[in-house]
């Protein structure tokens, strides 16, 4: 059993003892801890309001009852927006001027996982500092529940995905008319979760001919839900088969998006951010931000455009913190996560799709395979390895430091090693699983794989 607590929230596998997985007891404990954190953060209020949403997982339908009962038992009003997306919860927090929000989801993790993503009153994820306070409160506090006269109220809002889409379509940078004129035919893989509802609604508003795959949000994922190449063979075959312009795949809570080329090639999760940044910078120059594990192609684009490029530790909260510091016009992660601050400081697949389709349409319906050739052509290797203990992870990092002694290193998030010719290696603990992630990038796939194998070899020595 696994329970992971990090700045990405709380998530774990189902089953087993409390405290060792994502159990009903842990759900109640962490949601009560969140309410205590919120009341300390936003003091002297007579009434507190939380937005609640869930993804399409089977267990999300079940576990939402625990959360709503816990919040109401602590005297908090709950606005339940039901089946939704993570960015939609953030939008709802802003619109309703709520004190916070909770999304019941394990994001890209498999269906035997679930978790909680928590928001502050600005509709953004909690900062790392606030998460640490929440975890401390959860472990130390004896929670005080409300009397029957002071129980929280429950309200339902069923239209928030529509409100979210309307907010996106109102952005000046999104050109709805030009997308409609392009008469695009697009396949969407909704992984049988929230994206199966939200993405088709957005595409139909944009005048797109939509072909739906796995868009029934019953939560029985037909493939591994992480939107990466090896998990998307079906849609990669479907797009050229029906002569669609492109394909779109999202993760279960719709904060990551990837695209499939017209010929069935994978556009690449790294190039989601690169291409969208290119379009945003055509409209407004300014700094861009991504993570140490994201492709050098974004840095190359920033140099070409003459704007500052900044990189951060992996994780949405780190990206957003840096974006605010430098007043970035676009940012995100190389996993398909787009942060467009004109809408909200948070990853959002729906705004990413709208930006990308506007770009495609304005380039006179250019094919994705041609668009990708505009950008620096790097190759990445992404591996993940289970290690049995934190001690072994520390031993590995120590070995790597010794092996690459004399090379330029950044130690703020595991180890990032910069080599010659824009090659790099990044080794770090995952924020979302009990694993080590090894990302490498080079000018060829063979070379990127070789660099990764060098690290895997060190792991096998442990």
Say what the pLDDT of residue 3 is.
85
- Clarify whether residues 8 and 125 are in a common domain: yes
- Domain shared by 145 and 26, yes or no: yes
Quick check: pTM over 0.75?
yes
Residues forming a β-bridge with 347: 339
Phi, psi of 156 (to 5 degrees): -120, 135
Name the token pair of 135: 């975890």
Last residue within a domain, chosen from 347, 372, 397: 372
243 φψ region: left (φ > 0), alpha (ψ -120 to 50), beta (else): left
User: Using CA atoms, how far apart are residues 102 and 231, in angstroms rounded to an integer?
Assistant: 28
What's the CATH number where 24 sits?
Answer: 3.40.120.10
Q: Would you state the pLDDT for residue 219?
A: 94
- What's the domain range around 352? 164-372
Same domain, residue pair 41 and 129: yes
Q: Report pLDDT for 378.
A: 95
Q: Are residues 224 and 83 in the same domain?
A: no
Together in a domain, 192 and 140: no
Q: Tell me how many domains the chain contains.
A: 3
455 and 323, same domain (yes or no): no
Same domain for 416 and 323: no
Q: Which residue has the tokens 């002569």?
A: 243
What is the residue-level pLDDT of the chain in tens, covering all 462 positions? 688 888 888 999 998 888 889 999 999 999 999 999 999 999 878 899 999 999 999 999 999 999 999 999 999 999 999 999 999 999 999 999 999 999 999 999 999 999 999 999 999 999 999 999 999 999 988 888 999 899 999 999 999 999 999 999 999 999 999 999 999 999 999 999 999 999 999 999 999 999 999 999 999 999 999 999 999 999 999 999 999 999 999 999 999 999 999 999 999 999 999 999 999 999 999 999 999 999 999 999 999 999 999 999 999 999 999 999 999 999 999 999 999 999 999 999 999 999 999 999 999 878 999 999 999 999 999 998 887 677 788 888 888 898 898 899 999 999 999 999 899 999 998 877 778 899 999 999 999 999 999 998 888 776
Cβ of 416: how many Cβ atoms within 10 Å?
Answer: 21
**pLDDT confidence of residue 393:** 80
Which pairs count as long-range contacts for 321-327, CB under 8 Å and 24+ apart, including other chains? 321/127, 322/289, 323/287, 323/289, 326/287, 326/289, 327/286, 327/287
400: tokens are 């790597």
Quick one: which of 104, 44, 35, 107 has its CA closest to 71?
35
Q: Looking at the annotation, which residues are catalytic?
A: 107
What confidence score (pLDDT) does residue 1 get? 65
Six-digit token string for 374: 């505009």
Of 400, 398, 402, the closest CA to residue 424 belongs to 400
């Amino acid at each position: 059993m696994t329970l992971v607590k990090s700045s990405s929230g709380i998530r774990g596998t189902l089953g087993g003892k409390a405290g060792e997985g994502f159990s009903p007891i842990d759900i109640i404990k962490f949601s009560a801890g969140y309410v205590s954190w919120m009341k300390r953060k936003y003091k002297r209020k007579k009434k507190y309001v939380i937005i609640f949403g869930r993804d399409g997982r089977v267990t999300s339908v079940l576990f939402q009852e625990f959360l709503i009962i816990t919040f109401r038992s602590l005297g908090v009003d709950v606005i339940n927006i039901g089946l939704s997306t993570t960015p939609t919860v953030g939008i709802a927090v802003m619109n309703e001027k709520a004190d916070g929000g909770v999304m019941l989801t394990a994001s890209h993790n498999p269906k035997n996982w679930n978790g909680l993503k928590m928001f502050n009153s600005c509709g953004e994820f909690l900062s790392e500092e606030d998460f640490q306070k929440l975890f401390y409160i959860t472990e130390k506090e004896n929670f005080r529940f409300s009397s029957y006269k002071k129980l929280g109220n429950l309200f339902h809002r069923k239209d928030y995905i529509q409100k979210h889409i309307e907010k996106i379509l109102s952005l000046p940078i999104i050109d709805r008319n030009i997308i409609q004129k392009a008469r695009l035919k697009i396949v969407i893989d909704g992984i049988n979760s929230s994206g199966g509802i939200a993405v088709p609604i957005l595409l139909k508003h944009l005048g797109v001919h939509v072909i739906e795959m796995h868009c029934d949000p019953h939560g029985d994922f037909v493939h591994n839900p992480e939107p990466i190449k090896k998990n998307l063979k079906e849609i990669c075959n479907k797009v050229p088969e029906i002569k669609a312009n492109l394909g779109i795949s999202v993760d279960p809570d719709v904060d990551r998006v990837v695209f499939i080329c017209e010929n069935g090639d994978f556009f690449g999760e790294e190039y989601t951010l690169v291409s969208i940044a290119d379009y945003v910078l055509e409209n407004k120059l300014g700094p861009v931000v991504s993570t140490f594990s994201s492709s050098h192609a974004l840095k190359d684009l920033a140099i070409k455009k003459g704007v500052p490029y900044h990189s951060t530790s992996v994780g949405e909260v780190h990206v957003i913190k840096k974006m605010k510091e430098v007043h970035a016009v676009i940012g995100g992660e190389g996993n398909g996560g787009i942060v467009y601050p004109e809408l909200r400081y948070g990853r959002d697949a729906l705004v990413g799709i709208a930006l990308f389709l506007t770009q495609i349409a304005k380039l006179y319906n250019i094919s994705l395979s041609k668009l990708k050739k505009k950008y620096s052509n790097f190759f990445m290797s992404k591996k993940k390895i289970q290690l049995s203990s934190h001690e072994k992870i520390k031993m590995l990092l120590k070995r790597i430091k010794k092996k690459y002694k004399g090379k330029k290193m950044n130690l703020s998030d595991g180890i990032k090693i910069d080599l010659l010719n824009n090659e790099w290696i990044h080794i770090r603990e995952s924020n979302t699983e009990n694993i080590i992630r090894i990302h490498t990038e080079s000018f060829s796939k063979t070379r990127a794989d070789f660099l990764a194998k060098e690290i895997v070899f060190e792991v096998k020595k442990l």
